[in-house]
Structure 1
Amino acid sequence: MAMRTTLFCLSMLLPVLVSAQFKFIGDAQPMDNDCILLTPDVEYREGIAYHTTRLDLSNYFEVQFDIYLGDKDDMGADGITFVMHDDVRGYQAYGTWGECIGYGRWSPAAGSGHSITPSVAVEFDTYQNYRQNDPPSDHVAYLENGVSLHETYWNNGDGGFNMEDDYMHDFRFRWDPDEQLITVFLDGQIVYKGKRDLINDVFGGATQVIWGFTASTGRKHNLQYFCLRRWAFAPDLVPADRH
């Protein structure tokens, strides 16, 4: 009962958390609807928002957001990433903008360009960039250690999959340390599920990680923002069929 009360109280405090407990880089800023703007619908913009409370990888958690990726498909770009990191730059960590969406770098062997590392990220990519092995459609991909190039992705098996549809999309990230299992949901569907020893294999033993969102636009652009909806810290508070 105490845990359920904690969850209820947290939901009541979300507007305060949004306005007071994020650190911003670039164009990111609070919005009037208790959401966080990442990029305006303007070319060559970038934004990052990091929450000031770190996530503890030694404990179970699930975080839930509404994400908005714009209303222009062919003329929209570039997307957003949800990131957890332990980069030495802390709340000033950023990656290469444009096609790397403020998270990664041009390629794993790139000698130039910034990246956020050590880290894991979920990329919501809305523009095809051949150097990152992007399909023609919008897609979701799991990334690590500031590398934007990905071999696998999810687009619902649809070559015309579009997330820039002027709708909010329900995104959930779940971490189960006992199973070492990452589960990512988009609009109620599992779009990524994988086992990984995040603490030891990615973060070198660190358990406390900074989390937030990165985003950018290029010659093509969209309004992009997110809204924090829910945290949960025990499996019994997050039924599998709730979305």
Structure 2
Amino acid sequence: MLIISLDSCMPTKNLKTLSVIIPAYKEAKTIRRDLNNIERTLKGGLSGNFHYEIICIVDGEVDDTCREAKKVSSPSVKIYSYKINRGKGYAVRFGMKKAKGELISFLDAGRDIKPAGIMMLLAHMEWYGADVIVGSKRHPVSKLNYPWFRQILSIGYQVGIRILFNLNLRDTQSGIKIYKRKVIKKILPKLKVDRFAMDIEMLALARHYGFKRIYEAPIEVNFNKASKIQYLPITNPNSPVRMAWDTLIVFWELKVLGKYN
């Protein structure tokens, strides 16, 4: 398991706040356990080096996810919801507007990615003096329990990303990242992708606005068959084909039309 203590690499005075955004959709069976697990992990792993807040965004009140999330009794956990499902990108933006931390992270609900990875990303952010740290399934130290067909799709997508956006990253789509607040402050007003191509939109805009210290960190992934990425036609907003199409739109509007300027 990838676990790291921050005692040796973080100062103990002038504590910063880490905001962890958890977008959740149809997670009624697991959300309470997930949030409790994330808080236990942060409380133990941060070792008093950070204040923290956990911001759960229920992306559409379509089941009992919101009701279950609100059963978590902790002042560090904040629950927000809205009626209609809008997509992961919208949920993450909603959470970022609520976040108070100097560092802003997001982590997918559903337990695919071990929450201890947050400490690994924080340590890498300190080591590199990074603006953004991306959890990477293709980092040589990452531990994966991940279907081969998804790995092939991921590799193909990342080849396209490198060609289109000149991002020297092996994985842009993992559900765990940390941004400095100054990066979010710059890019948040420009973000508009509501679904899963939001990851590349955020990273491409960060690079576009001059934040070049973007690095990867290893993560531990156990594939959850209930993943929201579905193998459906382009008309379905959760389809990988739709994600690729949205990625091309980001490229066209950023690199050709200059609409993000």
Higher relative contact order (CA closer than 8 Å, sequence separation 6+): 1
Q: Given the two structures, how large is their TM-score scaled by the length of structure 2?
A: 0.30
Q: Which has the higher strand share?
A: 1
Q: Which has the higher helix share?
A: 2
Q: Given the two structures, how large is their TM-score scaled by the length of structure 1?
A: 0.32
